[in-house]
């Protein structure tokens, strides 16, 4: 994802080319159409010249457009059609055969309205292989090594009871959660995009998604609040039924809601009680930066729109990091966080 950017208009494209790139025949510029609001998947596979096993089908919590290394991945997948899963498995086998893969392979897909798009294919091991091996208890690396040394996958199927991961009948949910260095690099910005920012990852196992997500957050040193004030500021596209459901859930759990003007209007128009706060650039104090800095906010939901976070959003992110306030920057992460908070409030965690 290095030097990759999502641009929304001609002016942004021109600005990006003027500032960031030296373009020549040696250094060409690749332009793709960006699939907004698509669901992204990582698929790991083991293959030889005649056989292919789908060892992992990981669904990203965040929509496509976030670097796969920065996305929260869940295994097994949920809320996706059987047709889309079947298509991804078929495409993976076709790619493995066409590329003559011997060993490991990773494919990234985007699914939009049940149409499956191939983002990229890597005929090698990926960063998800250790996660898949631990989540499924299948020694993926050992099997791949034996295949690369000449053994046949069909012979190893019986020895390891090898099946596609969605046929293993997993009774638990596994989550891979990225760990970010924002506290060390406050001025670098905290908003996720095509460039990878994470410097590590944590993993959790649980019986269901809310508990697994809560554990993953805690393992990644993000302590979700059980009470207090939540600041919400979302872009116009995220002012929808999903955001309303998030806000209502938080309100029903007795959180105080705080929002900047646009989001405040949206929430109050839909019957959700909320307090209005000034943006950083607006006249009037205290503004949202002051509130976070002085400990008046316990959780931040801020979803910037477009390819560059505005001054206000950068200030919110910096204040959150400096004050050790947990924050999310996508609507998907906000939904998962609310489920996790509800889980922490109502059940004891065991060890799996």
- Taking only the tens place, the pLDDT of each residue in 157-210 is 989 989 999 999 998 999 999 988 877 776 666 767 788 888 899 999 999 889
Q: What is the DSSP string of 87-125?
A: HHHHHHHHHHHHTT--EEEEEEEEEETTEEEEEEEESS-
Q: Residues 6 or more apart from 44 whose CB is under 8 A from it?
A: 54, 55, 56, 58, 104, 105, 106, 126, 128, 129, 132, 140
User: What is the side-by-side strand order in the sheet with 327-328?
Assistant: 275-276, 256-259, 229-234, 299-303, 327-328
pLDDT reading at 309 higher than 50:
no
Mean of all residue pLDDT scores within the chain = 88
Q: CA-to-CA distance for 19 and 3, rounded, in angstroms? A: 11
Q: What is the DSSP string of 255-310?
A: PEEEE-HHHHHHHHHTT---EE-B-TTSSSSSBHHHHHHTT--SEEEEE--SSS--
The arithmetic mean of pLDDT across residues 292-313, rounded, is: 74
Report yes or no: 121 and 105 within 8 Å, Cβ to Cβ.
yes
Q: What is the DSSP string of 147-178?
A: HHTT--HHHHHHHHT---GGGS---SEEEEEE
Of residues 133 and 31, the one with the higher pLDDT is 133
If we measure between CA atoms, which residue out of 166, 195, 172 comes closest to residue 41?
166
Q: CA-to-CA distance for 56 and 42, rounded, in angstroms? A: 8
pLDDT reading at 27 higher than 80:
no
pLDDT reading at 344 higher than 60:
yes
- What six digits make up the tokens of 143? 């099997």
Q: CA-to-CA distance for 36 and 289, rounded, in angstroms? A: 30
Q: CA-to-CA distance for 197 and 69, rounded, in angstroms? A: 8
Q: What is the DSSP letter of 318?
A: H
If we measure between CA atoms, which residue out of 97, 114, 181, 168 comes closest to residue 137?
168
pLDDT at position 308 is: 45
pLDDT one-digit tens code per residue, 259-290 = 988 999 999 999 999 999 888 777 777 788 88
Q: CA-to-CA distance for 231 and 301, rounded, in angstroms? A: 6
Q: What is the pTM of this model?
A: 0.83
> How far are the Cα atoms of 49, 190, 193, 231 from residue 7, in angstroms, in the given order?
41, 18, 11, 27
pLDDT at position 246 is: 96
Of residues 49 and 307, the one with the higher pLDDT is 49
pLDDT reading at 253 higher than 90:
yes
Q: Is 236 exposed, middle or buried (0-12, 13-18, 19+ CB in 10 A)?
A: exposed
Which helix (H) or strand (E) covers residue 43, if one does? strand 39-47
Report yes or no: 280 and 313 within 8 Å, Cβ to Cβ.
no
The arithmetic mean of pLDDT across residues 288-316, rounded, is: 76
Bond prior to 131 in cis (omega within 30° of 0): no
What percentage of residues in the chain have a pLDDT greater than 90? 52
Bond prior to 76 in cis (omega within 30° of 0): yes
If we measure between CA atoms, which residue out of 91, 77, 94 comes closest to residue 119?
91
pLDDT at position 81 is: 93
């Amino acid at each position: 994802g290095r030097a990759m950017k999502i641009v929304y208009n001609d002016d942004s494209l021109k600005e990006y080319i003027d500032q960031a790139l030296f373009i020549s025949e040696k250094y060409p510029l690749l332009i793709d159409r960006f699939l907004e609001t698509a669901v992204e998947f990582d698929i790991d596979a083991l293959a030889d010249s005649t056989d292919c096993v789908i060892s992992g089908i990981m669904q990203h919590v965040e929509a496509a457009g976030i670097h796969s290394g920065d996305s929260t991945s869940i295994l097994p997948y949920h809320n996706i059609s059987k047709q889309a899963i079947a298509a991804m498995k078929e495409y993976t086998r076709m790619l493995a055969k066409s590329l003559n893969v011997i060993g490991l392979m990773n494919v990234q897909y985007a699914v939009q309205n049940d149409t499956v798009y191939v983002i990229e294919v890597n005929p090698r091991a990926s960063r998800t292989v250790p996660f898949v091996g631990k989540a499924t208890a299948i020694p993926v690396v050992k099997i791949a090594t034996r295949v690369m040394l000449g053994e046949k996958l069909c012979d190893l199927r019986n020895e390891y009871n090898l099946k596609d991961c969605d046929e293993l009948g997993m009774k638990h949910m596994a989550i891979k959660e990225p760990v970010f260095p924002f506290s060390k690099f406050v001025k670098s910005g905290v908003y996720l995009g095509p460039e990878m920012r994470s410097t590590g990852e944590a993993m959790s196992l649980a019986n269901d998604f809310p508990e697994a997500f809560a554990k993953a957050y805690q393992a990644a040193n993000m302590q979700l609040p059980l009470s207090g004030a939540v600041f919400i500021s979302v872009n116009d596209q995220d002012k929808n039924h999903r955001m309303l459901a998030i806000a209502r859930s938080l309100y029903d759990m007795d959180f105080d809601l705080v929002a900047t003007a646009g989001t405040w209007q949206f929430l109050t128009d839909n019957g959700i009680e909320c307090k209005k706060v000034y943006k950083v650039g607006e006249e009037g104090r205290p503004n949202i930066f002051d509130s976070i800095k002085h400990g008046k906010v316990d959780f931040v939901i801020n979803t910037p729109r477009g390819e560059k976070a505005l001054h206000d959003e950068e200030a919110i992110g910096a204040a959150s990091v400096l004050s050790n306030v947990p924050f999310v920057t996508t609507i998907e992460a906000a939904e998962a966080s609310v489920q996790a908070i509800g889980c922490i409030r109502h059940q004891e965690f065991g060890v799996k």
